[in-house]
């Protein structure tokens, strides 16, 4: 895992959230924590729903994160305090079978990750020890910024730190893979690897081009004057209960029709030539994935070259494909994107980001345009509920790690 960039570590060390977390831990457990770890949320710049199809994505970690204060404890109990869920608690025995809690969905991300790490260590003849944890964070929930992945990866980092594990036992990519398995098998959302991998492996000041089949990554630098502008539509979404799993099933059916292991292995010529017998909905789902992979590779090259005009076009095309072929946007999101595209022009780009059906829009733009973009949203956007968009101006952050001290 990465050690946080010094600026992030200094900020967190002095933050009210970290101070409150340590105080809550001491009150609840009767002694202070020994360690603090973090894992960031993420925003995906382009490459939507391509990850579970073995394709390409271009996310960056953001400077909103989950923090966990922790202290190893004797015995086999894991105790958890969640500051952001009304000081809710969970407790379980590492020697007993772990089952999901229907009354506390947040706890299942913790339980699922602990289960995966415990099984990983057991295969190597190692035993996971007891642990006390207190958790807080500022990644907006239900916004498509991967609050769940940040929690899973932070729990993985907490276990690494508590056990003193080195990368030979549990490295960043493996943590991401275990976190994905926890979400797929324990929580029940059939997500791809992107969210967990960027939270674990993010690079300060860079997006990360990820090949979701090989897990090979390439850092792509963001221009120094570029802001990562995120606007929450105030339309809430929930991946497990939405059509996310349905979209995955449709993609798998299309891959089976074309005789490929995943849509990553389908090109545009074959997509058109062999579509006979495939229903139109599944064809459009496949067309989005095939064209989105091409756009993502081109966007990484454009961003690296500082070609913002090309990047703008690719992000606009991506949004149109999500709207028309994959059908995961909603009218409020489309309106929000149009406002930002009109404001940014060819100096950046804007598109929906995340699983869909609400959540957030991401725009890349020069810092000088941020006030203008914020003012445009205040004037021209309201959610169906009447709320204004919530704006987060971010920069690309480092991946998960233990805080010094």
Q: What CATH number does the domain containing 344 carry?
A: 3.30.70.890
**Which burial class, exposed, middle or buried, applies to 74 when counting CB atoms under 10 A from its CB (0-12, 13-18, 19+)?**
exposed
Contacts of 175 (CB under 8 A, 6+ apart): 1, 153, 156, 157, 160, 196, 200, 400
Q: Is 195 tagged catalytic? A: yes
Is 322 in the same domain as 180? Answer: no
pLDDT, residue 78, reads 98
N-term to C-term CA, the chain: 17
pLDDT (average), residues 161-178: 95
Element (H, E) at 390: strand 390-394
Residue 403 counted as domain residue: no
| % of residues, the chain, pLDDT over 90 | 86
Is 300 in the same domain as 328? Answer: yes
Is 308 in the same domain as 364? Answer: yes
pLDDT, residue 240, reads 44
Is 203 in the same domain as 350? Answer: no
Is 217 in the same domain as 230? Answer: no
Is 121 in the same domain as 33? Answer: yes
Q: Which of 186, 221, 256 is the last residue of a domain?
A: 221
Q: Which of 221, 254, 278 is the last residue of a domain?
A: 221
DSSP string, 116-138: HHHHHHHTTT--PPPEEEEEEE-
Nearest to 89 by CA among 74, 103, 75: 103
| % of residues, the chain, pLDDT over 70 | 95
176-224 per-position pLDDT tens digit: 999 999 999 999 888 889 999 999 999 999 999 999 999 999 999 999 9
Residue 401 counted as domain residue: no
Q: What CATH number does the domain containing 38 carry?
A: 3.30.230.10
Is 44 in the same domain as 16? Answer: yes
Is 233 in the same domain as 206? Answer: no
Residue 207 counted as domain residue: yes
Residue 228 has pLDDT above 90, yes or no: yes
Which domain covers residue 385, as residue numbers? 226-394
**Beta bridge mates, 247:** none
Is 167 in the same domain as 270? Answer: no
Is 134 in the same domain as 279? Answer: no
Pairing of strands 88-93, 77-82: antiparallel
Residue 238 has pLDDT above 60, yes or no: no
- State how many domains the chain has: 2
Is 123 in the same domain as 184? Answer: yes
Is 359 in the same domain as 249? Answer: yes
**Beta bridge mates, 349:** 364
Q: Which of 199, 221, 243 is the last residue of a domain?
A: 221
Catalytic residue among 195, 211, 241, 267: 195
Residue 77 counted as domain residue: yes
């Amino acid at each position: 895992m990465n050690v946080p960039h010094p600026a992030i570590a200094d900020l967190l060390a002095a933050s009210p959230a970290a101070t409150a977390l340590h105080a809550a831990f001491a009150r609840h457990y009767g002694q202070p924590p020994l360690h603090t770890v973090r894992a960031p949320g993420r925003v995906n710049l382009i490459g939507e729903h391509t990850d579970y199809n073995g394709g390409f994505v271009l996310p960056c970690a953001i400077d909103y994160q989950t923090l966990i204060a922790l202290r190893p404890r004797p015995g086999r109990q894991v105790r958890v305090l969640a500051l952001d869920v009304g000081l809710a608690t969970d407790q379980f025995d590492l020697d007993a079978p772990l089952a999901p809690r229907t009354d506390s969905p947040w706890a299942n991300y913790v339980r699922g990750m602990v289960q995966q790490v415990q099984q990983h260590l057991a295969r190597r003849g190692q035993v996971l020890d007891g642990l006390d944890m207190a958790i807080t964070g500022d990644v907006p929930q239900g916004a498509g910024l991967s609050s769940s992945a940040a929690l899973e990866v932070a729990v993985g980092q907490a276990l690494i730190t508590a056990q003193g594990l080195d990368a030979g036992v549990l490295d960043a990519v493996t943590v991401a893979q275990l976190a994905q398995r926890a979400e797929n098998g324990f929580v029940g959302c059939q997500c791809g690897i992107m969210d967990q991998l960027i939270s674990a492996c993010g690079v300060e000041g860079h997006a990360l081009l990820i090949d979701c089949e090989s897990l090979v990554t390439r850092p792509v630098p963001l221009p120094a004057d570029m802001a990562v502008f995120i606007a929450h539509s105030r339309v809430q979404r929930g991946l497990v209960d939405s059509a996310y799993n349905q979209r995955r099933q449709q993609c798998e059916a299309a891959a089976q029709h074309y005789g490929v292991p995943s849509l990553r292995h389908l090109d545009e010529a074959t997509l058109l030539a062999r579509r006979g017998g495939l229903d139109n909905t599944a064809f459009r789902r496949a067309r989005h994935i095939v064209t989105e992979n091409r756009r993502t590779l081109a966007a990484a090259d454009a961003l690296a070259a500082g070609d913002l005009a090309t990047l703008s076009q690719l992000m606009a095309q991506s949004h149109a494909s999500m709207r028309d072929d994959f059908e995961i946007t909603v009218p409020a999101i489309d309106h929000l994107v149009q406002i930002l595209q009109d404001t940014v022009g060819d100096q950046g780009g804007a598109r929906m980001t995340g699983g869909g059906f609400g959540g957030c829009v991401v725009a890349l733009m020069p810092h000088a345009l941020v006030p203008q973009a914020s003012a445009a949203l205040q004037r021209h956007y309201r959610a169906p509920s009447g709320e204004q968009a919530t704006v987060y101006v971010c920069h690309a952050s480092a991946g998960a790690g233990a805080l010094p001290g």
